[in-house]
Amino acid sequence: MAHPGGRHFLQIPGPTNVPDRVLRAIDSPTIDHRGPEFAKLAREVLVGIRKVFKTANPVIIFPSSGTGAWEAALVNTLSPGDRILMYETGWFASLWRGIADKHGLRVEILPGDWRHGVDPAAIEEKLAADKEHSIKAVCAVHNETSTGVASRIQEVRAAIDRARHPALFLVDTISSLGSIDYRHDEWKVDVTVGGSQKGLMLPPGLSFNALSPKALAAAKTAKLHRSYWEWEPMLQANESGFFPYTPATNLLYGLREALRMLDEEGLENVFRRHRRHGEATRRAVRAWGLELNAVDEREHSDSLTAIRMPAGQDADKLRAVILERFDMSLGQGLGKLKGKLFRIGHLGAFNDLTLAGTLAGVEMGLKLAHVPFSPGGVVAALDHLASTSS
C-alpha cells in the first residue's frame, strides 16, 4: 500500500496505541526536574501508580525499558551465587533468565512447552524439597507475551506458602499491568516488574518495580553490584518528589494522564473490557478453525492472543500481506515460535470497533495469503461483543 489513508493499526502486543490525551500531555514544555512544579508531578504519579499495582508500598519508576526493571528486581534483592527458581513459560522468561545468568546467579529453570503457564505444583515440589532454603527467589512472568499465556500468580503464591518457603517472589507484569487483574499486596509479591508501553498506554521508556517490605529488607543485605538500578537513592529522592538522576519528565506527564484515564474508567472496568476482547478474539480464532497457542482455558491471556498457523503455513508471510494490504502490524512469533504463530495485541487504548477492524484485517489477510481457514471469525466476535455490550 503506497499511500495508506487513516491510522496505522498497531496491533502488536505492545508498544500499544497511545491515546491522543496522553500524546497531548507529553507534548508540554520540559520543566526543571529540580523545581517545585516537577515535585508536584512526581508526587502525583508516584502515589497514583500504586493503585495500578494494587499496593500501598513504594513503586520505583525508572527511565528505561522493561528490561531495566527486570535487572533492578534481581540486583537489589540477591547476591552472587544465590539460587533462584524460574519457569520457562516462553521467550520473555528465557530473557529474564539470561540476565540472572550474567549476574552470576545460579538459575534453576523448570522446563515448559511455551503453551502453558507456570505450574504451581512444580514450584511447590521444588520448594518443599529445598529443606535448607537455599533458593532465594522464585521468578515468574505473569503474562508471557510470546505465547499468549497468563500464569495463575495467586496459585503460585499459594504453592510457595504451602511449601512454607521464605523465597522472595518476583513477578513480571509487563504485558498484564493495567489490563489483567493483578494484586501486588494481596498476592504477597515482593517485586513486581512493569513497563509503560502496554496496558499503561504510554510510549516505551518507563519501567517500574513495585516493592514489599520483605524486598526492602533483602535490599539491605543483597550483594550484587548495582548503581543506576539501586532502589535506595531513588526512594530517598522520591520522598521529596525528586529523582537521583534526570527523570523522563515528559513521559511522567503522559503517565499522569494515563493514570487519570484508568481512574475515570475504573480499573475493574478496564479488566472487564480486556476480558471481553480476549474472549471475542478467541471466538474468532475458533470460528476460523485455527488453533490457539494457549492450551489451558484457565491461562488464556486477555491482553493478547497467539494463533498457531496450520502446518506448512508461514505466519510471517501472513503478517507481511496484512501489513502491505491493510496497514496493520501484528506480533511475530519469537524464538522457536518464529513463523509458527502470530499474535494479536488487544490491550491498552482499545475498544470494540478497534477489535472489529483488527479481526477484519486478519480475516481478509488469511484469505489473501491463501491460508486454509473457515470464514466467519469476525461475525463470531461481533456476536460476542454485541451480546455482552452494556
Interface with ligand PLP (CB under 6 A): 14, 65-67, 92, 141, 145, 172, 174-175, 195, 204
Q: Name which of 81 and 98 has its Cβ closer to ligand PLP.
A: 98
Residue 14 or 247 with smaller CB distance to ligand PLP: 14
Helix (H) or strand (E) holding 55: none
Handedness of CA 203, 206, 212, 214 (dihedral sign): positive
- The least CB distance from residue 301 to ligand PLP, in Å, is 10
Q: Smallest distance from the beta carbon of 13 to ligand PLP, in angstroms? A: 7
**Max Cα-Cα span within the chain:** 64
The residue number whose beta carbon is nearest to ligand PLP equals 66
Closest CB 287 distance from ligand PLP, rounded Å = 27
Q: Smallest gap, in angstroms, from Cβ of residue 142 to ligand PLP?
A: 8
Helices 91-102 and 66-75, packing angle to 10 deg: 50
Taking the least distance from each CB to ligand PLP, the nearer of 55 and 175 is 175
How many CA atoms lie within 13 Å of 150's alpha carbon, on the beta-carbon side?
A: 21
State the minimum distance, in angstroms, from the CB of residue 93 to ligand PLP.
Answer: 8
State the Cα–Cα distance between residues 36 and 242, nearest whole angstrom.
10
Contacts of 116 (CB under 8 A, 6+ apart): 89, 149, 294, 295, 296, 299
Q: Which lies closer to ligand PLP via its Cβ, residue 14 or residue 348?
A: 14
Considering the complex, state which of residue 67 and residue 79 has its C-beta at the smaller distance from ligand PLP.
67
Q: Which CB sits closer to ligand PLP, 66 or 254? A: 66
What is the nearest approach in angstroms of ligand PLP to the Cβ of residue 288?
A: 25
Q: Which of 208, 144, 116 has its CA nearest to residue 14?
A: 144
